[in-house]
Structure 1
Amino acid sequence: MQDSEALGSSEVDVAVVGAGAAGLAAARRLLEQRSELRVIVLEAAPRSGGRAHTVDPPEVGGPLDLGCGWLHGAESNPWLSIAESHGFHIDRTQAPWDVQYRDLGFPPADQRAYERASSAFYARLAEAQRDPVDRPQSTLLQADDPWNELLNAVSTYVSGAELDEASIHDTAHYRVHGSDWRIIEGYGRAVARFGQDLPIALNTPVTSIDHGWAGQVWLETPRGTIRARAAIVTVSTNVLAAETIRFVPALPDKVAAAQGLPLGLANKVFLSLDTPDELPKDAHLIGNVRAARTGAYHLRPLGRPVIEGYFGGRLAHELEAAGEAAAEAFALDELSGLLGADFRRRARLLTCTRWGQVASVRGSYSYARPGASGQRASLAAPVNNRLFFAGEATSPDAFTTARGAYETGRRAADEVLSHLRG
């Protein structure tokens, strides 16, 4: 039940703000535990799924994930069993990120040198995690190391931000380990399917949340006021930090926590291939291993006739601001430098993402600024047993992932259920 049918009453037991992975998990958990509850999910966008979004370009002959695409820590990832229970299929091919196709632009001797530099960097990172004072990860780089730029590039893929912006302490808490697998029909499609029968009101942004009433929360939307006994807020930290939703009374501690946990930016550009068979299935290239401003390119993911380019951090911001033609040109310049000058005549832009310009999200996934690692718990803390918070940024150990979003949605739902029983 979605959109107009869902918004049938102005009074509910629980209002969930946001229909991404966290919001859908929260609503599902509430209704599984107490089917009699009146629950509404309020979503600003015209679709559910949040940062999980699958599209089906006809020229590709298969789905593409514009948002999250990998089941990280797949063996224990809850989305694995959810996807399989809905009839989706799992590709268990090993992620190709550590292998440079044909060693192009990255000869074996350089690869070994980078592996040594990377191992040493992450050893220093593990040691620095025990320091009492947090600091930027960039302080662990060794002066004049020729591989500092590639270490920075990898940070932009992992965090959506460079090492000088990211906390050392926060890395100590990340606990997602295991294989990286894919959902053949699309991660975004699996998330949307998971929520397809939930009461979701699309195109319904929440503009203010008044939690000053005794026993009630009032949520203002363009379609009217919703009165609830409790509300679960799952919107992104960039939306919270911008105070797009006004809290009454104000919640300066939540805004400060969100500002300490901004969304990094990682965007994708998909290039359609005229002669896909010239490239192998599921191969990988780093565009320029000597630069921090470089793309990571997945060649023919799942055998499809595309290249999926991935840009993060400052490069992603620059290309997003410049427009899709700039993203296409950058990718083609890097790829033709590796695959031959005539390659650019056999590839063209299919689509690209601009997650920073999506008003209901404003970025990709959260990282902690130096000194802000503890803000994840602060952001997750309930307010007066009426307001509850979820989303990947509130996860203590699976932040940046749809898995973390799901787990925090269930956690927030359980907090609400405990409150309602009380």
Structure 2
Amino acid sequence: MNDEPDIAIIGAGAAGIGAARRLAGSGLNVLLLEALPRIGGRAWTRHAAGMPLDLGCEWLHSADRNPWTLIAEQSGFTVDRRPSAWDREDGANGLSAAAWDEARQAFASWSARLAAAPPASDIAAEALAPGGRWTAYLQAMSGFISGDELERISARDYAAYDAASTDCNWRLPAGYGTLITASLPAAIPLRLTAAVEAVRLDGSRVELRTAAGTVRARAVICTVSTNILAGDAMDWPSGLDPWREAASRLPLGNDEKLFFEITGGHPFTPESHALGDPFDAATGSYYIRPFGQPVISCFLGGAGARAVAAQGAEAAFARAMDQLAGLFGADIRRCLRPLIASDWTRSPTIGGAYSHALPGQSRARVMLARPYDNRLFFAGEATHLTDFSTAHGAYLSGQRAAEEALAALAPHHFLAR
């Protein structure tokens, strides 16, 4: 394996794979380094009870302009274009249809206020209606969307994403993680379990020290998460302190998934949805029998996801079971079995779900995306100005960073496609 490639890519998630796809066929020697024993990063399709289940990204958000949609079609993956059931409430939680309409309108009104007149403080919570009935519901939505409470969310950052989103959400029956991991070009050399421990600038090369040896590259594309970049897992040159500071202003929120297997007789309708408790900011959101499969996916955000890290999966399954029993009756306990759960918050090579800007810090995305010394280039969902928190934002950022690296190494020859 070449220890002195032209370009080394740190991280084989959606951004790293996006960079690798752009560099394949460029004529340069490329090496992809991944800390985990698998590729995909936060795109991870696990097979459990014979079903492909996405523990990470699952939906092709803004699917009508999402590059992964075209990649899927070109690669022979089925794309399910049915609308999601998120706007449906199929559990017996005691709220009338009118009340649910009121809750959704409260969310729409809050979003509109952010876009039209963002708070001067840039704190998203300050756009809440004082004493509003649906504050806990809006906090739960913030947990699902951004992984944190509205007090820690930049209004401008949220509004930028919301304005760019097309609200077109499609799925892949084979799994989003399956698509992303299948999209790494075979010609790109890959090293797994090769966590980069230190980055050094050595003459004209960038030195990457790993437990398996040292790699010296002419240029490096770094796609590690903001929590890793800002943390102590890797040793960086002091010149990168501004990039690390920018990363600290774009922390990963907390989001986790639990999956229940459905066994025996049950009351669950395929492609249905229920929110556990709209008056609980830590509530679970339950997607029931996706693709008709005998499974319920519980999505937890913000406080609900942090509880998984603090109390463990067993406690999280028990709480989710209680919510489902409250929605569908106590008898459902007999036909639900805890299956698998994510643990992104405690993953030492990732450290959370996806990025959000802290209040007043949305421009940190611009800072983080800047090249350093024309040798270090940064990618990852956090570096995209509008499609952050998505696999397609990560992919596009990887393509952009690859273009920058190509231009730096060979400004005339290698830009030709």
| TM-score, normalised by the number of residues in structure 2 | 0.95
Hey, which bits of structure 1, 4+ residues long, moved more than 3 A? Answer: 102-105
2:199 counterpart residue number: 209
Q: What pairs up with 1:347-386 in 2 under 5 angstroms?
A: 347-386=336-375
Q: Do the aligned partners of 2:24 and 2:185 also contact (CA within 8 Å) in 1?
A: no
2:324 counterpart residue number: 335
Q: Equivalents in 2 of 1:227, 1:328: separation in Å? A: 46
Alignment of 1:259 onto 2:248 = yes
SS class of match (2:28): coil
Q: What pairs up with 1:31-70 in 2 under 5 angstroms?
A: 31-32=24-25, 34=26, 36-57=27-48, 59=49, 61-70=50-59
Query: Percent of counterpart pairs with the same letter?
Result: 42
Q: What whole-Å deviation, never above 9, does each CA across 1:287-306 have from its counterpart, x for those lacking one?
A: 00111110000000111101
1:164 counterpart residue number: 151
2:65 counterpart residue number: 76
SS class of match (1:376): helix
1:199 Cα deviation from its structure 2 partner:
1.3
SS class of match (1:362): coil
1:137 counterpart residue number: 124
2:210 counterpart residue number: 221
Alignment of 1:325 onto 2:314 = yes
Alignment of 1:173 onto 2:164 = no
Q: What whole-Å deviation, never above 9, does each CA across 1:37-76 have from its counterpart, x for those lacking one?
A: 110011000000000000111x2x3211110000001111
Letter in 1 for 2:144: Y
SS class of match (1:219): strand
1:4 counterpart residue number: none
SS class of match (1:106): coil
How well do the aligned residues superpose, as a CA RMSD in angstroms? Answer: 1.4
Q: Do the aligned partners of 1:243 and 1:255 also contact (CA within 8 Å) in 2?
A: no
Q: Do the aligned partners of 1:136 and 1:370 also contact (CA within 8 Å) in 2?
A: yes
Q: Equivalents in 2 of 1:120, 1:62: separation in Å? A: 38
1:14 counterpart residue number: 7
Q: Do the aligned partners of 1:276 and 1:305 also contact (CA within 8 Å) in 2?
A: no
Letter in 2 for 1:157: F
Q: Equivalents in 2 of 1:317, 1:103: separation in Å? A: 27
Structure 1 residue runs without a partner (length 5+): 1-7
SS class of match (2:338): strand
Q: Equivalents in 1 of 2:238, 2:133: separation in Å? A: 51
In the alignment of these two chains, the number of paired residues is 408
SS class of match (2:332): helix
Q: Equivalents in 2 of 1:401, 1:233: separation in Å? A: 17
SS class of match (2:6): strand
Alignment of 1:152 onto 2:145 = no
1:92 counterpart residue number: 81
Q: What whole-Å deviation, never above 9, does each CA across 1:249-277 have from its counterpart, x for those lacking one?
A: 44111111111000001100001111366
| TM-score, normalised by the number of residues in structure 1 | 0.94
SS class of match (1:231): strand
Q: Equivalents in 1 of 2:240, 2:295: separation in Å? A: 45
Q: Do the aligned partners of 2:307 and 2:316 also contact (CA within 8 Å) in 1?
A: no
1:394 counterpart residue number: 383
1:218 Cα deviation from its structure 2 partner:
0.6
Q: Do the aligned partners of 1:71 and 1:180 also contact (CA within 8 Å) in 2?
A: yes
Q: Do the aligned partners of 1:155 and 1:161 also contact (CA within 8 Å) in 2?
A: yes
The structure-2 alpha-carbon separation of the partners of 1:271 and 1:216, relative to structure 1 and needing over 3 Å to count, comes to: same
Structure 2 residue runs without a partner (length 5+): 412-417
Letter in 2 for 1:317: R
1:24 counterpart residue number: 17
1:5 counterpart residue number: none
Q: Equivalents in 2 of 1:128, 1:31: separation in Å? A: 45
